[in-house]
Amino acid sequence: MNIKKGLTKIAGWQRFLPMFIILVIMSACPDSPTNPKDENPYKQEPVDWPSLADSPWPMYRHDPQNTGRSEYLGPSTPNYFSWYSMIDISESSMAEGSDGNIYFADTKTLYAVDNNGANLWNYDLGCTDNNMTPIVNSGNRIFYVDRKGDLKVFDLDGTVLWQLSFNKPVSFYSMGYNGNLFVSTIIKLYKVSNDGQILFEVAETGKIEALSNQGEQIYLIHDRSGILIARDVNDGHKIWEKELPGKRLSYIVIDSNDNLFVRSVSDDQSQPSYLYSISKNGEENWIYTYHYPEAYKQYLEPFYPTIDWNGNIYFLATYQDSSWHGQLVSLSNDGKTRWILDNMLGICSLISDINNNVYGYIRDGDNIYFASVSAEGEINWKVNSKVSLANPYEPIIGSNRRIYIASSNYSISNIYVIGE
């Protein structure tokens, strides 16, 4: 054995030993610049949904997960102006197409309006009390289901391309990952192709609420019995069913990790309300219990929470005596209280923007304001909303840092823009 040669090799290897140790330490260090650690395990990612229009807000609640969360900025200052007037507002919302036009319905008519507020076309729906929101798909088709159960699909000029009648009142509808439409009537769940063919129908009295992030599961609620159901989107078979204490379910939002957040209240108004976190498999992650202030009665909040880009959840707790009161509650994704803001009003669902600002209504004395609230619970700005407590639209975040809101004073309805 050549000992000298062996020693030479060892000496050469030792020259690189300090550098090797430094590299190992740097790669193992979670806070090193070469391996930065994201300390938030709940950070949200955009959910790709290729069947929807590439627009700031293509459907109700922005997406089939009901996040109410935009990838766009909201307004930095509360510039406020009337944008469009109509006869009778409905309890629905608006959608923005990839062309920048806004689509919405009042109780009788479907409208298309450009971003300057000029009417492009309108369509008489032939029935009253409509309360659905249009869906704009990636093929620039506008889908709308009216109150009596007729589905119509329009092109951008307002021409009806095809229609389908379900012959029963529709409770909700949503668009699947591959462009199929899911429609729940009072007795059945339907899957409809994007050219109007019924792909399946199953007996189901629950209301469609949301779809999973990959689009393979659809979730429905039986609000009066507290039943939450997951079904397979391919053939409609039931995957799991879960009964949640509280008996009355409101709405579902889903984060990008496929956790479902579900509000529940009791028929006994003296009891607390709950927010459940449920996994995609139907397992309970945690329960948050909200106790109403003493001497107040709970009010079933028919309003969606929102989830910001850090995974934090925001929901409204509304209670009443002779008037309405409420709090905006912010939870971390694992169910811990972050903060609670007083004087919020539960008159419509919450929405949030790319900077994690949350938008909703706030009361100050006898005045009602539309407000921007930071992720830390501070009010960024508020503007007198001129809103009536009757039939406020769900607000949406559009392009050009605009928020569209609407309200009715019983004689005329207006859509307002906050922003540029």
Please report whether residue 38 resides in a domain: no
Please report whether residue 380 resides in a domain: yes
Please report whether residue 189 resides in a domain: yes
pLDDT in tens, 128-143: 777 899 999 999 999 9
Reference 279, options 303, 304, 254; nearest CA is: 254
Total count of domains within the chain: 1
pLDDT for 252 equals 94
Q: Which CATH number characterizes residue 383's domain?
A: 2.140.10.10
Residue ranges of the chain with pLDDT lower than 50? 1-11, 13, 22-26, 28-36, 389-390
Strands (DSSP E) found in 193-283: 198-203, 207-211, 217-222, 227-232, 238-243, 248-254, 260-265, 273-278
- Cα–Cα distances (Å) from 409 to 298, 388, 406, 415, in that order, read 26, 6, 10, 12
pLDDT for 4 equals 41
Domain that holds residue 376: 49-418
Please report whether residue 58 resides in a domain: yes
Question: Taking a C-beta distance cutoff of 8 angstroms, is the pair 221, 252 a contact?
Answer: yes
Please report whether residue 274 resides in a domain: yes
Please report whether residue 21 resides in a domain: no
Reference 173, options 195, 197, 152; nearest CA is: 152
Please report whether residue 39 resides in a domain: no
Please report whether residue 110 resides in a domain: yes
pLDDT for 7 equals 39
Is the pTM of the predicted complex or chain greater than 0.85? yes
pLDDT for 11 equals 47
> What span, in angstroms and rounded, lies between the C-alpha atoms of 355 and 132?
29
